[in-house]
């Protein structure tokens, strides 16, 4: 069952959308906290987003840009702002389609079905995102984001970060990390892991995160 997230601050409209999408067989939910949408987005892991432009705190363009830093999830803008410039901005920010308010439920359902079919007929990869204290990491793409900034990690850096995030709060030994990266750690120079950890720390520092990865003497590394 596809999961659809409605980002609409008018409760009546959001309720109508969720109700009709649910009747059509989707797992639909509406955002409730508009000051920071990302935690609900990450927790729900939607397959498609329906996004209004006029929202409290930050507008839909801004949230679309933030989502696009770490996710390729299809986004349909649903808004009464419908000038050519509005549609151009929505598209440039990463929107996949646009529905003008007031809208027909039949049109909404048709647009949703069409975009889901086009997206997931060719790409069945599941969104795999981990969030931790302002850091958002997409394990599938290897992209780590903090606020407006994002950076692509190397394969080894991504594997190290994923392992440490999965075990956050607990130290992970150097041997375990090395075996995760290279299977047989006995043939790998111990300094190779140190180099990878150093590079990962620098990238996180460049994104504005200091001391994310701690060294635990005789135990390994920990987030």
- For residues 174 and 168, give the distance between their C-alpha atoms in angstroms, rounded to a whole number: 15
Report the pLDDT value the prediction gives residue 84, as an integer from 0 to 100. Answer: 93
Q: What is the pLDDT tens value at each position of the chain, 223 positions in all?
A: 899 999 999 999 999 999 999 999 999 999 999 999 999 999 999 999 999 999 999 999 999 999 999 999 999 999 999 899 999 999 999 999 999 999 999 999 999 999 999 988 655 445 578 888 889 998 888 899 988 788 999 999 999 999 999 999 999 999 899 988 887 555 566 788 999 999 999 999 999 998 899 999 999 999 9
Tell me the whole-structure pTM to 2 decimals: 0.73
CA atoms within a 13 Å half-sphere pointing along the CA-CB vector of 60: 28
| CATH class as words, domain 3-120 | alpha beta
Of 72, 69, 79, nearest to 6 (Cα)? 79
- DSSP bridge partners of 149: 146
- DSSP bridge partners of 172: 221
CATH architecture of 129-222: Orthogonal Bundle (1.10)
- DSSP bridge partners of 3: 27
Domain ranges for the chain, please list them. Answer: 3-120, 129-222
- Alpha-helical segments (H) within 84-124: 84-92, 105-120
| Three-state DSSP state, 221 | strand
Q: Which helix (H) or strand (E) holds 32?
A: none
């Amino acid at each position: 069952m596809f999961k659809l997230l409605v980002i609409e601050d008018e409760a009546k409209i959001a309720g109508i959308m969720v109700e009709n999408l649910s009747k059509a067989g989707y797992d639909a939910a509406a955002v409730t906290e508009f000051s920071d949408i990302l935690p609900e987005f990450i927790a729900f892991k939607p397959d498609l987003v329906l996004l209004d432009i006029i929202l409290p705190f930050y507008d839909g363009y801004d949230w679309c840009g933030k989502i696009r830093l770490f996710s390729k999830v299809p986004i349909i803008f649903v808004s009464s702002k419908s000038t050519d410039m509005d549609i151009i901005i929505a598209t440039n920010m990463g929107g996949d389609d646009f529905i003008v308010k007031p809208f027909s439920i039949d049109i909404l359902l048709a647009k949703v079905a069409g975009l889901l079919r086009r997206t997931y007929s060719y790409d069945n990869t599941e969104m795999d995102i981990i969030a931790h204290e302002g850091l958002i990491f997409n394990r599938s793409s290897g992209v780590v984001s903090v606020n407006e900034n994002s950076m692509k990690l190397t394969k080894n850096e991504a594997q190290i970060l994923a392992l440490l995030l999965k075990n956050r709060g607990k130290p992970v030994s150097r041997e375990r990390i090395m075996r995760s990266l290279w299977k047989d750690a006995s043939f790998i120079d111990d300094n190779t892991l140190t180099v990878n950890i150093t590079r990962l720390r620098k990238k996180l520092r460049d994104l504005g995160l200091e001391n994310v990865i701690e060294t635990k003497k005789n135990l390994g590394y920990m987030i």
